[in-house]
Chain A
Amino acid sequence: MKRALALLLLLLLPLSGCGGGDFSAFAPGEAERLVIYTSHKEEVYGPIVKEFQQRTGIWVEVVTGGSGELLERIAVEAEAPACDLMFGGGVESLAAYEQYFEPCTPAGVEYLRRVGRSDEGLWTPFSCLPLVLVYNTRLVSEGELTGWADLLDPRWKGRIAFADPTVSGSSYTAALTLFSCIEGDDWDILAALAANLDGGALSDSGDVVESVRSGSRYIGVTLEETALKQRSPEVGIVYPAEGTSAVPDGCALIKGARHPENARAFLDFVLGRDVQELLVSGLSRRSVRTDVHAPQDLPSEAELGIIDYDVHWAGGLKEEFSARWAALTEAAA
Chain B
Amino acid sequence: MMKNLSFRSKLLLAFLLIGVVPLLICTLLMLNIFRVTLAGNARDAAEAELDGAARALDALLLEGVGVLDSLTQDPLIRAELGEPGSAASQSVYDSLYTLSSGLRGQADFALYSGAGELLFTTGTGSAAELGTHWGLLNAAAGGEAAFSGSEGSLYAARALFSGGAPIGYALMSLGSAQLDELFSAYLGTGGILLLDPFWDFVYRSQNAGDEGLAPLLRDRLLSGQDLSDGSGSEFYVRESAVSGFVLLYVQPEPVADWVMRLLYIVAAGTIVICLALCALASMLMSRQLFRPVRELNSAMGAVEEGKLDTRLEVRSTDEMGQLAGRFNRMAERLQAHLDESVRRRQELSEAQIRLMQAQLNPHFLYNTLDTVKWMGKINRVPEVATVAADLADILRSSISGDEFVTLGQELTTLGRYVEIQSIRFPGKFTLETDVDEAAADVLVPKLMLQPIVENSIIHGFAESGGRITVTARLEGGELEVTVSDDGCGMSEESLRRFRSADAGEGGRHHLGLRNVDAILRLHYGQEHGLRITSAEGRGTSVAITLPARFKED
The verdict on B227 contacting chain A, using a C-beta distance below 8 Å, is: yes
- CB neighbours (8 Å) of B199 from chain A are 26, 59
Interface 1/0s, chain A 46-70, versus B by CB < 8 A?
0100110111000111000000000
Contact A278 B134 (CB under 8 A): yes
Residue pair A19, B235 in contact (C-beta under 8 Å): yes
Contact of A27 with B224 at beta-carbon distance under 8 Å, contacts A51-B134, A59-B198 already known: yes
Cβ contact within 8 Å between A33 and B237: no
User: In the complex, are the beta carbons of B228 and A26 less than 8 A apart?
Assistant: no
Is B35's CB under 8 angstroms from A23's CB? no
Contacts of A23 in B (CB 8 A): 221, 226-227, 235, 237
B228 cross-chain contacts in A, Cβ below 8 A: 19-20
Q: Once bound together, how far apart are the Cα atoms of A21 and B60, in whole Å?
A: 27
Q: Does B121 contact A (CB under 8 A)?
A: no
A15 at the interface (CB under 8 A from B): yes
- Chain B residues positioned under 8 Å from A60 (CB to CB): 198
Measured between alpha carbons, how far is A125 from B533 in the docked complex, in Å? Answer: 155
Q: How far is the CA of A326 from the CA of B224 in the complex (A)?
A: 48
In the bound complex, residues from chain A placing their C-beta under 8 Å from that of B139 are: 54-55
With contact pairs A54-B139, A61-B222 given, residues A12 and B25 touching in the complex (Cβ less than 8 Å): yes
* Chain A proximity of B224: nearest CB distance (Å): 7
Answer whether A18 and B39 are a contact pair too, CB < 8 Å, given A12-B28, A51-B134, A54-B139.
Answer: yes
Question: Given A20-B235, A59-B198 in contact, is the A15-B36 Cβ separation under 8 Å?
Answer: yes
Partner of B236, one of A8, A14, A20, A33: A20
B32 interface hit (Cβ, 8 Å): yes
Asked if A11 is at the interface of the complex by the 8 Å CB criterion, the answer is yes
Which of under 10, 10 to 19, 20 to 34, or 35 or more describes the interface residues of B? Answer: 20 to 34
Q: How far is the CA of A14 from the CA of B32 in the complex (A)?
A: 6
Contact of A11 with B222 in the complex, beta carbons under 8 Å: no
Taken residue by residue from 209 to 227, chain B's Cβ proximity to chain A (1 for < 8 Å, 0 otherwise) reads as: 0000000000101101011
Q: Which residues of B contact A55 (CB under 8 A)?
A: 139
Tell yes or no: A319 within 8 A of B by CB: no
Q: Known: A20-B237, A23-B227. Contact between A8 and B25, CB under 8 A? A: yes
* Smallest CB separation, A203 vs chain B (Å): 30
Of B32, B35, B200, B237, which contacts A11 at CB under 8 A? Answer: B32
Cβ–Cβ < 8 Å partners of A204 in chain B: none
Q: Are B200 and A50 in contact (CB-based, < 8 A)?
A: yes
CB distance from B47 to the nearest CB of A (A): 9
Instruction: Indicate if A72 sits at the interface (CB-CB under 8 A).
Output: no
The reply to whether B237 and A277 form a contact with Cβ atoms under 8 Å apart is no
Cross-chain contact of B35 among A14, A28, A274 (Cβ < 8 A): A14
Q: How large is the interface on A (under 10, 10 to 19, 20 to 34, 35 or more residues)?
A: 20 to 34
Are B148 and A54 within 8 A (Cβ)? yes
**A33: chain B residues within 8 A (beta carbon):** 222
Q: A8: which B residues are within 8 A, CB to CB?
A: 25
Q: Is the CB of A15 within 8 A of B134?
A: no
Closest CB of chain A to B467's CB: distance in Å? 97
Name the residue on A nearest B217 (C-beta).
A23
A274 and B198 contact, CB distance less than 8 A = no
CB distance from B30 to the nearest CB of A (A): 11
**Residue B43 interfacial (CB < 8 Å):** yes
Query: A24 on the interface (CB 8 Å rule)?
Result: yes
In the bound complex, residues from chain B placing their C-beta under 8 Å from that of A274 are: 133-134, 138
- Measured between alpha carbons, how far is A14 from B150 in the docked complex, in Å? 41
**Which of B39, B198, B219, B239 is packed against the most chain A CB atoms within 10 Å?**
B198
Contacts of B138 in A (CB 8 A): 274
Give the chain B neighbours of A15 by CB distance below 8 A.
32, 35-36, 39
- Write out the residue numbers on chain A whose beta carbons fall within 8 Å of the beta carbon of B43: 18-20
**26 A-B contacts (beta carbon < 8 Å):** A12-B28, A12-B29, A13-B32, A14-B35, A15-B35, A15-B39, A18-B36, A18-B39, A18-B40, A19-B226, A19-B234, A20-B227, A20-B237, A23-B221, A24-B224, A26-B221, A27-B221, A27-B222, A33-B222, A50-B150, A53-B198, A54-B139, A61-B219, A277-B133, A278-B131, A278-B134
Which residues of chain A have a CB within 8 Å of any CB of chain B?
8, 11-15, 18-21, 23-24, 26-28, 33, 47, 50-51, 53-55, 59-61, 273-274, 277-278
- Known pairs A26-B246, A274-B133 / 14 extra A-B pairs, C-beta < 8 Å: A12-B29, A12-B32, A14-B32, A19-B43, A20-B46, A20-B227, A21-B236, A23-B221, A23-B235, A47-B135, A54-B139, A59-B198, A59-B199, A273-B133
